[in-house]
Amino acid sequence: MDPAQELYRKNLDLVYANKTLELIRELDEIAIGAQAVEDVVQKFIDTICTRLGFVEGLVVTADERGEYLSLIGLTPTAINKRAMEALGVKVQDVRFVVRQDENDLVDVFLAKSPKVTKGMGRLWSPLVELGEVGENQVYVFPIIAGSRRLGCYAVTTAAGVETMTEFERVVLARLAPVFGLAIDKVRVGQELREAQDREMARVKELDRLKDEFVSLVSHDLRTPMTAIKGYVYLLLKQREGLPSEAVRQLQVVYDSSERMIRLIGDLLDVSRIEAGRMQLSIEAMDIAGSAAEVREELQPQVLERKLSLEVARTGEVRVRADKARVHQVLVNLVSNAIKFTPEGGKITVGFEKKGGEVITHVADTGVGIAKPDLGKLFTKFGRLDSSLVGISRAAGTGLGLYVCKKVVELSGGEIWAESELGKGSTFSFSLPAC
């Protein structure tokens, strides 16, 4: 070959290489974005035909057991159209029986190697016998993933073109595994999504059953608790006429029953939260008013432990939240403060307006919380190792703060704590102002 021819040849090679890379890149992008196999295949065959100048194309894929080759994509061109009209069915209903039909697609599928034939119409036999099969060359290629047969695809050259160019032959062969990978990837993706959906549905159903169970059990546990709390309360009303030891013992029974009742409530709350069934009635409310109510309620405990509890006198502080739940959170935080603050200590509840939110601070001069424990505070059953957990009339279960966190977050706020061992702690939560 003379140098000029050599150069020309090398240039041509480069052009072809470029074209191939471009095409493969384009197909890769299609494969990445695709959600459904039909999508990928249709786009593939359209792209291949457009870029390489083929006139018609079609693609068949095999079922899992390799018994059928189903039509999955085809260019809407002359012979294809005629065949589909003649069959009168939808694309997804067209299929060849592998062990039975005499067909080039089947041959290529089984042999895993390409074939050349003439006349696209021939590929439709024996499903439909088109009298006019066409004159163009047809190239049939297998689609493979690894060593697995996935199907095959066929393309026809333009009229008058008798043979495939070297470039075309190389590219089409090169595309077979790309095709295979793309189909595989999309199939796996689809199967994964379906498995995920099934799993999610199962988990949801389990959560619902659990929630129902917990609701029933809570009700049944509360029934005797009502009687216990009620009658002990009545006995305590007669304390004047009872020995002081008996009164003390009755008080313990009363406090324990209240704790039990609170625990049942917390369990119910946690179950509802996890099943996504906690419903909040959000309304405009005065959180300072709620805090004042809580102060009244917890006054007996405060006095007994010789503490002082102050709520900032700010007038109305309006937030958007569920009134009952805000009350619950405040009782929880203040009760904890009471529990962990030794005699003579001080608890304050204050409010801060900041950027469209109201932050409520519950500060105490109590024993404080160690840094490593701060992270565990708002988790389920996050008990701290500091054992100042004496018999106390304050609330306090492993679930209380967890429920507070969920309630605050569901209301659009955040909850956090700051503390210094030996000095005290401040628990704060934010809620949308209004």
- Which region, judged by CB under 8 A, interacts with another protein, from 5-13, 142-150, 157-165, 260-268? 260-268
Task: Indicate the residue among 260 and 384 with the shorter CB distance to another protein.
Answer: 260
In the numeric block, which tokens belong to residue 282?
């959000």
Task: Confirm if 238 and 172 have CB atoms less than 8 A apart.
Answer: no
Q: In 10 A of CB 121, how many CB atoms?
A: 24
Residue 268, SS3 per DSSP: helix
Task: Indicate the residue among 259 and 361 with the shorter CB distance to another protein.
Answer: 259
Rounded to a whole number of angstroms, the minimum distance from the CB of residue 264 to another protein is 8
Site string for another protein, 275-294 (x = CB under 8 A): ----x---------------
**Positions of E strands within 245-333:** 282-286, 308-311, 318-322
Task: Indicate the residue among 230 and 344 with the shorter CB distance to another protein.
Answer: 230
In the beta sheet, which residues pair with residue 117?
138
- Which region, judged by CB under 8 A, interacts with another protein, from 84-92, 104-112, 263-271, 378-386? 263-271
> Based on the number of CB atoms within 10 Å of its own CB, is 146 exposed (0-12), middle (13-18) or buried (19 or more)?
exposed
Rounded to a whole number of angstroms, the minimum distance from the CB of residue 347 to another protein is 24
Is the Cα dihedral 144, 146, 147, 148 positive or negative? negative
**From candidates 268, 298, 394, 399, binder to another protein by CB under 8 A:** 268
Amino acid at 92: Q
Task: Confirm if 236 and 254 have CB atoms less than 8 A apart.
Answer: yes
177-215 in b/e form (b: 16+ CB < 10 A) is: bbbbbbbbbbbeeeeeeeeeeeeeeeeeeebeeebeebe
Rounded to a whole number of angstroms, the minimum distance from the CB of residue 237 to another protein is 8
**From candidates 175, 264, 270, 287, binder to another protein by CB under 8 A:** 264
Task: Indicate the residue among 324 and 421 with the shorter CB distance to another protein.
Answer: 324
Q: CA 69 to CA 241: how far, in whole Å?
A: 93
Residues of span 213-242 touching another protein by CB under 8 A: 215, 218-219, 222-227, 229-231, 233-234, 237
Rounded to a whole number of angstroms, the minimum distance from the CB of residue 362 to another protein is 22
- Find, among 397, 408, 294, the residue nearest to 417 by Cα: 408
Q: In 10 A of CB 160, how many CB atoms?
A: 7
Q: CA 426 to CA 312: how far, in whole Å?
A: 15
Rounded to a whole number of angstroms, the minimum distance from the CB of residue 412 to another protein is 19
Task: Indicate the residue among 117 and 218 with the shorter CB distance to another protein.
Answer: 218
Task: Confirm if 335 and 396 have CB atoms less than 8 A apart.
Answer: yes
Site size toward another protein, by CB under 8 A: 20
Task: Indicate the residue among 175 and 264 with the shorter CB distance to another protein.
Answer: 264
- Find, among 107, 184, 116, 115, the residue nearest to 144 by Cα: 184
Site string for another protein, 197-216 (x = CB under 8 A): ------------------x-
Q: Which residues are within 8 A (CB) of 417 and not within 5 positions of it... i.e. 6 or more apart? A: 369, 374, 377, 425, 426, 427, 428
Task: Indicate the residue among 266 and 364 with the shorter CB distance to another protein.
Answer: 266
**From candidates 127, 130, 217, 261, binder to another protein by CB under 8 A:** 261
- Which region, judged by CB under 8 A, interacts with another protein, from 52-60, 83-91, 262-270, 360-368? 262-270
Rounded to a whole number of angstroms, the minimum distance from the CB of residue 404 to another protein is 17
Q: CA 338 to CA 304: how far, in whole Å?
A: 10
Task: Indicate the residue among 75 and 301 with the shorter CB distance to another protein.
Answer: 301
Residues of span 20-79 touching another protein by CB under 8 A: none
Rounded to a whole number of angstroms, the minimum distance from the CB of residue 261 to another protein is 5
Rounded to a whole number of angstroms, the minimum distance from the CB of residue 285 to another protein is 17
Task: Indicate the residue among 190 and 218 with the shorter CB distance to another protein.
Answer: 218
Task: Indicate the residue among 5 and 223 with the shorter CB distance to another protein.
Answer: 223
Task: Indicate the residue among 271 and 419 with the shorter CB distance to another protein.
Answer: 271
Q: CA 407 to CA 414: how far, in whole Å?
A: 9
Q: CA 154 to CA 59: how far, in whole Å?
A: 6
Taking each continuous run of H as one helix and of E as one strand, the counts in the chain are 10, 13
Residues of span 140-169 touching another protein by CB under 8 A: none
Counting contacts by CB under 8 A, is residue 1 touching another protein?
no
**From candidates 265, 289, 412, 432, binder to another protein by CB under 8 A:** 265
Instruction: By CB under 8 A, name the binding residues for another protein.
Output: 215, 218-219, 222-227, 229-231, 233-234, 237, 261, 264-265, 268, 279
